[in-house]
Chain A
Amino acid sequence: MIMVYAEVLNGVISDITYEILRKAREIADHTEEEVVTVVMGYNVDLKYLGASDRIIYVEDERLKNFALHRYVLEKIIDKYSPRIILIGNTSIGMDLIGGQPCIISCYDFNDSVKSISYGGKVFIESKLDRGILLINRGSFEPLRVEKEVKVERLSLDELGVKVDIELVEIIRPEVEDVDISKAEIVVGVGRGAQNIIDVAEELAKILNGVVGASRPVIDQGLLPRSRQVGRSGKTISPKLYLALGISGAMEHIEGVKAKNVIAINKDKNAPIFRISRYGVVGDVEEIVPLLLERLRS
């Protein structure tokens, strides 16, 4: 049995659950195992979990508190003895592992498990006969299937979980402005692109990202201080950093820990190209509007 833990936040099943389901389905079809998705929460919409063979639903108001899930999962693993349990490598997911054998930060698995460690500098291949795999976000494409699936209901009281942890509240911090240090996609505006900040903002919107900037742009008051990327600003670690007209001075680079950098700059010797995956030597004011057009279509 392949067990998938459905991560629920504020009553909604997170994307990562559907990403994991795709891989679980792929493996299960190959090994002819069952994919059982475990959902803990209250009033959760199970509509898109159709890729599962079965759903185990522990519905209880008390389970809005994710801190209890660790103990519930323990009981369920005892009861059903799944071969592999798949959980998202997230804040909630990492709290669940208990004493189970567990490989963290996995990006793929078939016969062997592939994971990442040492700050991303080492790729690891290992074997796990039984246990938990914590799967990184973005490892697989989400698989949402609208299909009726057998739901087995369990009672929290019957499972005998008695833990004194209370979820007091979930705070959504005041958004006076965006926190770029948490963004997955950042469009960086440097001096070379400061005349097209509005275009950059459109670009960021279409990519579902945020706009950051280098110091000279911030100093001119063109964007708020909270958007500054660099040594005396914020450190960003997005999946993608689109550096527009940014030279890549040390003071700026120190704040960039992106997985992928794409840079556009007039100067072919701009230091930003040293940390880029893709580079364009050209005029941002010319290229970015055209790029925006292409993405809109």
Chain B
Amino acid sequence: MIGVIVRAVPDLVEGLEISEREVLPYRYMANEMDEYAVEQAVILKERYGFDVDVIGLANEEAYSEIDDALFTAIARGVDRAYKIMIPKTTSYKIARALSDILKKYDLILTGTIAIDEYYGLLSSLIAHELKIPYIGSVIGVEIDGEDLIVKKELEGGLIGVLRLKKPAVLGIITSERPPRYIPFSRLREVMKSHEIKEIDLSIEEEELDVTFKEPPEPKVEFIEGTADEIAEKLAKILREMIT
């Protein structure tokens, strides 16, 4: 059995309201790498016949918005969908709270990182709590008998191929194929015929002592002068930028 974790994260296209103590999104969406994890899980189901569950994690504001992503996962081929409400807390507490319900899975897939993570990596922490192996930055998965053959993206375009035993947690970066498109009417169909089961989990709250701020706003600076002068200034800028 495969369990995939999909997190509701801020929709960066719609924007963020950033104040010193908090970051407020206008809208939420599924974490992109988690969607790749769903696709990878469905690919494994098609290849080897696994059963796949998707578990959605969302805070109170995103609790209904995550439904779209979970129904889409079912439309893509996932068998069952669950969702859990997350309080204001850290990935460490979430991993601890999830460990009981995740024990039943041979393979747990999720995105290597969520776009709003800054303290700990949930993917790695889940493996730590369950005391099972973790491989992150995964771009491909195959099964060979009892073994998992995992392709891990390294720097410089290199790929590491690793062999390990289930159960394991894999942090996905991208799936072997882009997530399949689900036509609107198909999504509506799935919404009518399927249910998302809510799991009531008691998760310890934790607030971190951090401050937020916006990055400095870049404005285009025009470089002027004769062709020679411009070339000189550009050369200087380039040298600074690439070192």
Contacts and interface: CB of A to CB of B under 8 A. Distances in A.
Question: Do chains A and B directly touch (beta carbons under 8 Å) in the complex?
Answer: yes
Interface stretch (B44-52, B57-65, B153-161, B196-204): B153-161
B231 A287 contact: yes
Contacts of B18: 121-122
B237 to A, nearest CB: 6
Interface stretch (B73-81, B133-141, B184-192): B133-141
Pairs of residues from A and B, 10 with the lowest C-beta to C-beta distance, nearest first: A290-B231, A294-B235, A91-B137, A126-B210, A117-B118, A99-B128, A168-B161, A166-B163, A165-B164, A291-B231
Given A117-B117, A279-B220, A122 B134 contact: no
A101 interface: yes
Interface residues of A, number: 71
19 contacts: A91-B155, A94-B171, A95-B171, A97-B124, A101-B92, A104-B113, A104-B118, A126-B118, A126-B119, A126-B210, A164-B164, A165-B164, A167-B162, A239-B242, A278-B221, A281-B222, A291-B234, A291-B235, A291-B238
B195 interface: no
B121 A120 contact: no
Nearest to B215: A123
Contact of A164 (B116, B158, B165, B214): B165
Interface of A: 9, 14, 65-67, 70, 90-92, 94-95, 97-99, 101-105, 115-127, 141, 163-173, 179, 182, 185, 207-208, 239-240, 242, 260, 262, 273-274, 276-283, 286-287, 290-291, 293-295
Contacts of A65: 162
A193 B155 CA distance: 31
B189 to A, nearest CB: 30
Contacts, number: 200
Contact of A170 (B135, B154, B213): B154
